[in-house]
Amino acid sequence: MSYQTIYIIILSIVIFGYLIDLWLGYLNTTTWSDLLPEALKDIYEEEKYREQQLFERIKYRFGLLTGALSFLLMLAMLIFGGFAMVDSYIRGFTGSPILQAIAFFGILGLAADLLSTPFDIYNTFVIEQKFGFNTTTIKTYLFDKIKGWLLAAFLGGGILALVVLIFEKTGAWFWILAWGIVTFFTVFVNYFYTVLILPIFNKLAPLEAGALRDSIEAFAFKTGFSIRDVYVMDGSKRSKRGNAYFSGFGRQKRIVLYDTLIAEHSPNEMVAILAHEIGHFQKKHILKGLIISVLHTGVLFFILSLLVGNPSLSMALGSLQPSFHIGLIAFGILYSPVSLVLGLGMNMLSRQHEYEADCFAAVNFNVGAMQDALKSLSVKNLSNLTPHPWYVFFNYSHPTLLQRLAALDKCRGNDV
């Protein structure tokens, strides 16, 4: 296939992807209403619903702006050979393929982050502030940026250097060895996330002794869940939004609660939320997700090994000198339709897992508490409870609240 044909395919994928996003966003606007829908009357109050709809409109308009600018920037990079310009500039400083790749992605990543920062600041300190979510200080925001850059340079740069080294030295064995390296890193991060990475950004402390801890430990014992500790994270330093999640496996498995979640929910609701997270573990959802991710990575590296060395990929982006890093950019765009299809499958699986974890909480703890917790979370986060079905299909990893409430009603006395 000629590089001109590859260029046209790349351009078409970028344009088509943007148009799909526009179409889905528009479909979602067709479900907006100034009147509180009948199905939401026991969830939202009239005034709170109007606030949610205003929040939805502002987010949509802001997303249109940022999406359009990102799309135009990508078009400019493709049409005017921006990737080739960066590649040519780097080659003037070093002939090492490893240093070229690190510098290439470092420059692109830093430039993208700096360009998006004004919009991120506006979203954080204007939109999120307007609706009472933001608690981030300028100091916290700046330190998060710096720590994020350092982490990306250290971990991202290190993995990239290893992958390029393997590509340069091993030839046909590249995809297997690179797959092994990335798999090791994925498992390592999953195992040690709350021990090594999370503390860089947040403080963790064991949940204090008391009624809530006693209730959680009693439920864990009842369901045969071995728990070393439940941790509370200082999420309130950045946002009033609440969350809880399960991380790690084996001796390093942890349940992490945001302090905002504890402050805004009753003990019964908190145990229901924890029951949901324990349900994910007991149903082996985390293990299944990890296995699928590892298999997907293997397929990706195999296809990459077949294509990345093709000079036509680099030439399609305007570079006359083939390289791993610029070929990787072209491959990433070409692979995006495959990623979209796989992502749809993963979203469907994730939504099914959410139903199963909900049902586990309903059967093993209390269905009413689980429903109340979901309603409370949705209202506090100003969630859109009536998104368009196609928007849900493409973008949602969780079912909508109304779908989850209906499924929970069917779970009374029945496990899945």
pLDDT tens digits, residue range 323-379? 999 999 999 999 999 999 999 999 999 999 999 999 999 999 989 999 999 999 999
Q: What is the pLDDT of residues 256-268, one digit of tens each?
A: 889 888 888 888 8
Q: Please tell me the predicted confidence (pLDDT) of residue 412.
A: 62
The verdict on residue 199 lying in a domain is yes
The verdict on residue 327 lying in a domain is yes
The verdict on residue 271 lying in a domain is no
Number of domains forming the structure of the chain: 1
Span 187-193, average pLDDT: 83
Six-digit token string for 303: 């296809």
Question: Average per-residue pLDDT in the chain?
Answer: 90
Six-digit token string for 118: 């004004």
Six-digit token string for 71: 């799309």
pLDDT for 253 beyond 80: no
Six-digit token string for 404: 């989850």
pLDDT for 209 beyond 60: yes
Four-point Cα dihedral 195, 350, 187, 169, nearest 10: -140
- 121-160: b (≥16 Cβ within 10 Å) or e: eebbeeebeebebbbbeeeebeeeeeeeeeeeeeeebeeb
Span 183-204, average pLDDT: 86
The verdict on residue 347 lying in a domain is yes
pLDDT for 416 beyond 60: no
Q: Could you please report the per-residue DSSP string of 221-246?
A: HHTT---S-EEEE-GGGTBS---EEE
Task: Indicate the burial class of 52 (C-beta count within 10 angstroms; 0-12, 13-18, 19 or more).
Answer: buried
The verdict on residue 209 lying in a domain is no
What's the CA gap between 113 and 149, in Å, rounded? 9
pLDDT for 413 beyond 70: no
Residue 33: which domain range? 3-204+282-411
Residue count of the chain:
416
* Range scoring the smallest mean pLDDT among 37-51, 237-251, 272-286: 237-251
User: Hey, which residues does 246 pair with through a beta bridge?
Assistant: 255
The verdict on residue 25 lying in a domain is yes
What's the CA gap between 317 and 75, in Å, rounded? 11
The verdict on residue 289 lying in a domain is yes
The pLDDT confidence band at residue 244, using thresholds 50, 70 and 90, is confident
The verdict on residue 93 lying in a domain is yes
Q: Please tell me the predicted confidence (pLDDT) of residue 70.
A: 96
* Range scoring the smallest mean pLDDT among 109-113, 126-130, 365-369, 408-412: 408-412
